[in-house]
Structure 1
């Protein structure tokens, strides 16, 4: 399909913007110093415990408690078995909002199915720091259906202010399930903390799987967070071009694979969002892509001008991207060249930003602390 003149102009402007953004500050000019604290084998996600230690997942199926002050590391046992292949493996780790009283930790991972299939799963378990293991593991959600291949699981996790569990369920590189309400692939899912479906989901009349869904038409979502006003923002990888930052709204269809601001990897064009306005368009698109991974909306005060900003890790762009929000609009404000693939971004209890370097294909990935420059 041929692109409209308006679409071509928009694409050109996006490219120009991305090229300008690529002129990232050199390390000496960044407002922070990246300090290496530890190394992990293929790390994927992290979250802070109330005592300031870190929980870190490794894709091969390991969960660690890392003391960032002393360097001591403790491996946690009795974790779920994972499919460690391609993009699959151990993934996100998030604490229940009442972790201090109930001890629940939530984990996402690639789970084996029948034959040569797999799918994302989310489980919760009690974290026993004394015995160094997980107890009472319960699977609270699974992708439906499990499919062949080892890409595009998504499976990022977040809790909102009401204690609802949100999960990004990517489309597993299968395209059409993102529009199929009999599947929860290519969807954002909203559940209670025990995995049951809450009141208020938009598709509860369309079956048990559809009842989980909050929005649809997504590709590969690897970052999710809520802003200070409770708005939900999710970024996703586009196909060949067209990475997205989306403001998520109840029942909205974001169009993939019918529309996208990128094209298929085999060169086939996909109509842009502006050709079919019934689908919700992204607030920001990136072409060339940044390959977004990890996301936090910062609410600290250690970095001047960053409070309320979104911080996105860049894989192919090897960057930390700062996004400035203005209500329901957003723009890329700064891009910092990190010289390496950034898999995860997290905010520490004192407002310090921490990064995990992507340790792809069996490589080690470094844990960085970003110390503000005085």
Structure 2
């Protein structure tokens, strides 16, 4: 059952009282949140679930989402099925790890492939725990998911900085964001998949045009799955309509190297995004600096371009959900980033009264769906949390 609350939003926010930047870091050129005016209703789609991390649709009538403890759920014709569609075995869940990414194959109608990323652990006969983060392909038969193939495993698999957003790009390739497991050296270690964005074919094999493919790189031990590196903990990726450019949100130092420093990046083939050598607005030759540095921290957890017609003013804008960072943003919400090509024009914030916002997605109906993350151990859950909600025009 859906409930609706009418909201007319007019807000203005500017950064003030920021904590000191990291040593030697110039003050970031953060565009303050612009006054925003948007008329919409917030409708509850699902309530009483636990840390819904990703949302996808297999058809206009069927939404699937995952809960971080390891459950894949489905909503059919607006009703949440009481039993999970699938429960991941040997899940490692807690802190920042668990069942994270979920996406469907671009040709799902023909092959029924669903992809999950999750923390995995199993004990050997001697009691030694083996842990990794893995991306696995499944076949959806409508009543359950049938395990098919593990595409890639990532080590180390720390309980924090685990990534792990997955999404198909306009090139038909599967992109995977990985965190550096709170071990910063891995972000620039090309023999490790941690702290990277990976690019794979739909069966886990490596595309020939990846940047580190070839005998020269193989001799050095470079992992050919790597698309970009120098990332701390990226969790939001999507491609700009019309240009195909890949944009990304990433959790910054948040106290590890100065407060704040969360990032919005343009990600390009083979480039180094600096962590841990540079952060905040620092610059260094051969490394990429962010388009936006959020300071204080905001903990950007997702990202999607809006490319529908239900909200014409949002078309072509990037939307990201903010959890609210360590010592930072007290009223997180959904942030709208307006771009002109590669350049940020302004940013606006709305839906700031529901706590921590994790996933933001655009449904086949053109409405903006988002999930709360107030039961992840760091929020203040309302009695009906966690929830999946959607924004619809106030005139609907």
| Shorter-chain TM-score tier | 0.7 to 0.9
Matched residue SS, 2:247 = strand
Structure-to-structure mapping, 1:260-275, within 5 angstroms:
260-261=279-280, 272-274=281-283
Shift of the alpha carbon at 1:88? 1.1
For 1:150 and 1:119, the matched residues in 2 are separated by 10
Which residues of structure 1 form unaligned runs of 5+? 262-271
Which residues of structure 2 form unaligned runs of 5+? 1-20, 255-259
Partner of 2:171: 162
Partner of 2:210: 201
1:230 and 2:230 aligned: no
Shift of the alpha carbon at 1:187? 0.7
Matched residue SS, 2:170 = coil
Structure 1 residues 303 and 201: alpha-carbon distance in aligned structure 2, compared to 1, 3 A threshold? same
Matched residue SS, 1:322 = strand
Partner of 2:15: none
Aligned residues: 347
Matched residue SS, 2:198 = strand
CA contact (8 A) 1:125 1:137 kept: yes
Shift of the alpha carbon at 1:337? 3.9
Shift of the alpha carbon at 1:282? 1.0
Structure-to-structure mapping, 1:60-139, within 5 angstroms:
60-67=69-76, 69-77=78-86, 79-112=88-121, 115-116=128-129, 118-129=131-142, 132-139=143-150
For 1:74 and 1:113, the matched residues in 2 are separated by 25
Partner of 2:263: 244
More divergent stretch after superposition (331-340 vs 209-218): 331-340
CA contact (8 A) 2:90 2:122 kept: no
Equivalent position to 2:389, from 349, 365, 368: 368
For 1:287 and 1:251, the matched residues in 2 are separated by 27
Shift of the alpha carbon at 1:350? 1.5
Equivalent position to 2:368, from 349, 353, 358: 353
For 1:209 and 1:74, the matched residues in 2 are separated by 43
CA contact (8 A) 1:37 1:68 kept: no
Structure 1 residues 2 and 81: alpha-carbon distance in aligned structure 2, compared to 1, 3 A threshold? closer
Partner of 1:308: 316
Shift of the alpha carbon at 1:361? 2.8
1:37 and 2:49 aligned: no
CA contact (8 A) 1:141 1:195 kept: yes
Report which of the two has the higher share of helix. 1
Partner of 1:216: 229
For 1:331 and 1:163, the matched residues in 2 are separated by 29
Equivalent position to 2:288, from 280, 292, 300: 280
Equivalent position to 1:256, from 275, 284, 302: 275
Shift of the alpha carbon at 1:338? 2.4
Deviations 1:14-37 (A, max 9, x none): 3xx44xx2x876xxx642221222
Structure 1 residues 31 and 197: alpha-carbon distance in aligned structure 2, compared to 1, 3 A threshold? same
Deviations 1:95-128 (A, max 9, x none): 0000000000000101126645533210011011
Structure 1 residues 233 and 325: alpha-carbon distance in aligned structure 2, compared to 1, 3 A threshold? same
CA contact (8 A) 1:273 1:280 kept: no
Shift of the alpha carbon at 1:70? 3.8
For 2:186 and 2:111, the matched residues in 1 are separated by 36
CA contact (8 A) 1:81 1:111 kept: yes
CA contact (8 A) 1:66 1:74 kept: no
1:344 and 2:344 aligned: no
Shift of the alpha carbon at 1:209? 5.5
